[in-house]
Every structure is written in C-alpha cells, then in structure tokens.
Structure 1
C-alpha cells in the first residue's frame, strides 16, 4: 500500500519538477529488527519515482560495511542525500536518521531540492563564518514527526552542511532512537546538539544558531 496518497504524490511531483541536478538517495537499512526501516525505504522509493532526476540506492547496514563506513552511518534507518556536482555525486553531509514523515517530510523534500541546486540561502555573516571554518561541526537536530517547528531547525542544519564541507547536519527522530533521547536529555523538540558540547533548545533564528556554532568552534579549539 502506498504511503503517499494521490494528492500528495501530485504535489510532490510538482515540487520536484524544478530540480536542476540529479539527486541520489542512499538508504541504509536491514531486513529485521529495525523499526520503520521498511517504511523509510518505501517513502524514499515512492518519492524517487516521481522525478526522473532522483534515484535510490539501498545498502544493508550489516553486510555493506564499506558504504556504512564511507558515510559514517551508525544507526538505521538512515538516508544520505547526494547531489550531482561536476558530473559526480557529492556527499553534502545531509543525513536523516529515522523516517522523514509528518512535518519532517517537508525537510526531506527541501533536502532533495537543496542538494540538486548545490546552493542555499544563508546570511552573509554565516557564509563568512563557514568560509573561515577549520574544525568539523556535527549538528544533530532531534525531532518528532508531529513537531511543527522542527523542520525549520532541520533545514537550517542541512543548509549549513551544504554550504560547507566541514559541516554535517543530521535529523534524528527521537521516537525511533529513545537511547539517544536519554543520552542527550531531549525533553522537548527540536533540540540541537553541536559537536556533543553545545546545546540549543528550539528552532532558533539563524543568528542565534550562528552564535552557538561559534561557541562550538571555540570549545573545539580549547578556548573556552
């Protein structure tokens, strides 16, 4: 049974009609003992079927260790969104851990469009910060599918990743990973964790997140 009803499928087809470059979705999964693995693969394949510029590759989390290691996948279900750049597919650091359903379906479509273009809209101050970045930044955004504010935080994290090779942005659906919710003390969503050292509650505006990124850099450099 399709996850996308005909009306939604039609809207998605229109959304993806403007894709400029090709997009490849890498789906990391396994056949057993993975909540929502089948549904995550299905939603990726249904969306890909709506555009001739989107394709899906499926990898087994247990047996395809070369790919698992190459993309740094440590939990499933996982989606990696690659965009075509200079004739090759580039890893922009865009990750989804857990099914991108509910409000997060918006983030999923935005990721496809953003990597297709290879360009994102960020403030000049943010671009300057990213251009001077020398340490890696790992941004985890903890969400639930029913959170209407979460996509804003996820999309900003992904846009930062697309704009810099030193940034990785992860959506993490906490219902599927309760041990991570406990580890990172997720009491409300979205909760943003940067490099395991800096935390931010809520879908804050870009200037606020930029300040937290700057703090994470200082911590990484041992200056605070």
Structure 2
C-alpha cells in the first residue's frame, strides 16, 4: 500500500511514540477493506509499539480504531484515510501513542476540563483540503479527554449513510446524532461552542493585553508577511484572525509560489503560522474584527473591536482581512447552502458521484470546477452570465472535449429550488430572449469570484465601489496609521505571492510611520 520512501518516513515519525497502541480493524470481503488492511499492515510493520488486530465488529466496514494501551476506546476512521486525510491518520497515531499535540497549554487544559459526554462524527472526503483541520481538531479532543469520542467517516466510502444522514457538504460534524457544524472550524472555534464561557474568558484576556506597536487584522499570506516583517524590527506585534491561513486553507495545489514547485494550501498555512510564531508574534485566533476606531488625535492609539467583545489597542494597524466566495444572491441560495449549494468542488464533489450538477461561472475557476466534476458526476451544466466563457483557451478546449458537459451562456441564474432537505434544481433566464428555464440538479457549485471582507471598515476607511480597501504605493489607506495588504485591497492580481509581498510592504510602511511619531511626553 505504501511505497518504501513513505514507509521510511513513517518509521521515523512513529519512533517518537512513547506508548503502545493497537489498531482494531473491522473489515469485510470488499476491495476497500483489502486496501485498508494493506495500509494497516504497512503501518504496524513500521513500529514495535503498534499491534494490529483484525477482529473488530464495528458496523461500518472498513473501519479501524486506534486505541492506546490501557484504554477501552480510541479514535476511529471509517473508510480509507488517504489523500488529504493521510496526515490526520499519522497525527492520530502519534498523539494516541503519547506525542503531545502542538497546541497552546491553555487549550490543552481547557479540553481536559470539558464536562459531559460527547460523541462526534465527522464526514469528510479525501479530496477536501478543509477537512483535515476539522478531523484533526476533533481527534485532539478525543485524545486529551476520555469523555470525548470521534469517528471520521469518508463520505465516498459510505454513500448510503451519507444519503440517510442528508450530508451534502464536507466537512459536516454531528454531535450525538444532531448537526454540530459544517465547513471550516478551528479548534478554538469548536471549543467556543462546547465551552459556553470560553469566548468571554478569551475576550477578557485579549482586552487586558498591552498596547501593540503593530496590530495585523487577518492571518492569510499578507497578514503573516506583515507580522513577520514587523516583528523582525523588534516591535510588539499582534495578529487577530478568524483562522490562520485565510483562503490558503481552501486552496488545493499551489504551484506558482516561487521557489516552492508544489505545495498544498493547508501545508503552506501551517508553515506561515509556524514562521510567524518563530518571531514571538502574539497570534489571537478565532477572533473576527468588527470595527476599527481611529484615535482622537494624530499619533494616538487605535482600538480594534472584535466580535467576541474584546478590544485591542495599537499604535498602528495593518489590515489584511482577505476575501470570501461571492454569492449569487438569489432566492434559495442561502437556504440550501451546505444542502446542495457548494463553493468548493474539490471538497464536496465526491458527495455528488453519479448525479447531475451545475457550475455557475465561466472564468478559470468555473471551468476548472466543471472539468473536475465531470470525472465524478453524471453530467455537468456550466452556466455563464456573459455571452462567452472567460476562461483560458486551454481550459475551454479541455472542457469542450468532455462528453458529459454542456455549456449555457448569456444565462442569469434566478432561483435555487429544493424540497426542504436538499437542492433539486435551479431556474435561469435566457438573457437574449428573456425566457425562463429550469434544470433538475442534485448540486450547484458557485464559482463567480471573490468579494473583499471589508464590511466592518465602511465609514472608517475609504473603499472602492467594489468594496476594496483603497491603498497607495506605500500601502497607506485614507486613515493615517492604518495600512492594508492582500486580496481585500485595490492592488490588482489576487495571488498568494503578491499578497505576501504587499504584506511585507505594509509592515515596513507601518514601521516608518511609527519611527516618525512624536515621542510620548
């Protein structure tokens, strides 16, 4: 199952374990069970601390449980955790085997103190780049707290269960049978939902922090670069972000980050955070900025108010809030989001295997999504508002070669239809004739670009008609002392490497601003 190179790497990782573990497999005669057995045999052969048993009796087959010696239960995977989830499997092995999770000590204490019993089930797909963050977070909970149980289920391997549970997006998490959440969730966000007082305690602790020289709002490539460049100047630097990595966490293959021939979004995001922490930057995750309050006088302190109720003071601010997927803003879209309306074909595509879907948008993202989905679904209908597709010619040529793809141009989506539980179709208007048409569909993938996360800045910072933060060549905004970088700004070409470079510029401009401030009396 694993090649020799991977076996060697795995052997080196597993040598760090300090406790014995047992893999208890529940298998049948199917091909996927055969693959799972091969994977588990390869893993067990790499460490004398690992024992493999094939006498599991779990109803889900194939599945396996990772149990620490002396415990009566552990972390369970149902299906084959390969693809993006292979890292989750390795971490589960290490952490069950006694290797401490790389999280803050206060989070460890918080997890251990959680009262009550929790039974979590996470549905994932191997191609989902967001899922590992969620799977790994719940695995950490289960490793540290014996009253928490977690099962990670590959939706593609258990189609009947996915249908019965009405799972139409990954990751979807259920707690004791009821939906707990869907989409990206950080460990901090999960704990805030489980621990009713966590958000208030965190807000209180953040509000007590000393004044930052530079406060960076946003943790994507621009925010990370700004924080690193500021910290290298020896000044007190902080970052507030809902999740570190931003859009990068939702990105599949990255092949144009200079000097790195190939990487993946979550891997790059983890590297960005680790690099930022190396400089002692105070990172406050799970925090969303709600307002920036300018000082009463030039050179005074800014106050960044957070949705949690906390307020952070700083001498200067670098804004890098990034962007989010643009919505169609038609009836039914919000109602059926995660119930057939999706924004990540790599994540949710496998859940629509053998079913008809539509892709909205004829740019590169839309055409790439249609090409990917054509290999999974029964039929893909690509709908474009303009009179022609806008994607690169090579992508259009590939699209046209696929037999199960149809393209409709000059079409305006007007409504998403559903039966209360899931999407059943959409309506669109022919922009040439005005005629209305309806398509019967199982899923709709929206790929119509991005919108900047700048709503909280309205009335404080000058924004463009598209909502982008207006910046000059020095990344200065309309408010002295506030700088901006990344996809939320007017800088053209929204690319990771450009965002990182702009973040560095913004930090250097902030430092220049600080050294020119009049010294405090």
What's the secondary structure of 2:119's corresponding residue? Answer: strand
TM-score, normalised by the number of residues in structure 2: 0.35
- Is 2:139 the counterpart of 1:171? no
Asked if structure 1 preserves the Cα contact closer than 8 Å seen for 2:172 and 2:179, the reply is: no
Map of 2:82 onto structure 1: 101
What are the within-5 Å matches in structure 2 for residues 189-204 of structure 1?
A: 189-204=170-185
Q: In angstroms, what is the RMSD of aligned CA positions?
A: 2.1
CA distance in 1, matches of 2:112, 2:21: 24
Classify 1:121/1:198 alpha carbon distance in 2 versus 1 (closer, same or farther; 3 Å): farther
What are the within-5 Å matches in structure 2 for residues 40-189 of structure 1?
A: 40-59=36-55, 68=57, 73-84=58-69, 89-117=70-98, 119-121=100-102, 124=106, 127-128=109-110, 130-134=112-116, 136-189=117-170
Higher helix share: 1
Aligned residues: 195
CA distance in 2, matches of 1:153, 1:95: 14
Return the structure number with greater relative CO, CA threshold 8 A, min gap 6.
1
What's the secondary structure of 2:46's corresponding residue? Answer: coil
What's the secondary structure of 1:27's corresponding residue? Answer: strand
Deviations 1:100-158 (A, max 9, x none): 11111111111110011174455535733642412x21111111111122121111111
- Structure 1 unaligned residues grouped into runs of 5+: 60-66, 216-224
CA distance in 2, matches of 1:120, 1:8: 22
Q: Larger radius of gyration, structure 1 or 2?
A: 2
Map of 1:220 onto structure 2: none
What's the secondary structure of 2:87's corresponding residue? Answer: helix
CA distance in 2, matches of 1:125, 1:37: 36
What's the secondary structure of 1:40's corresponding residue? Answer: helix
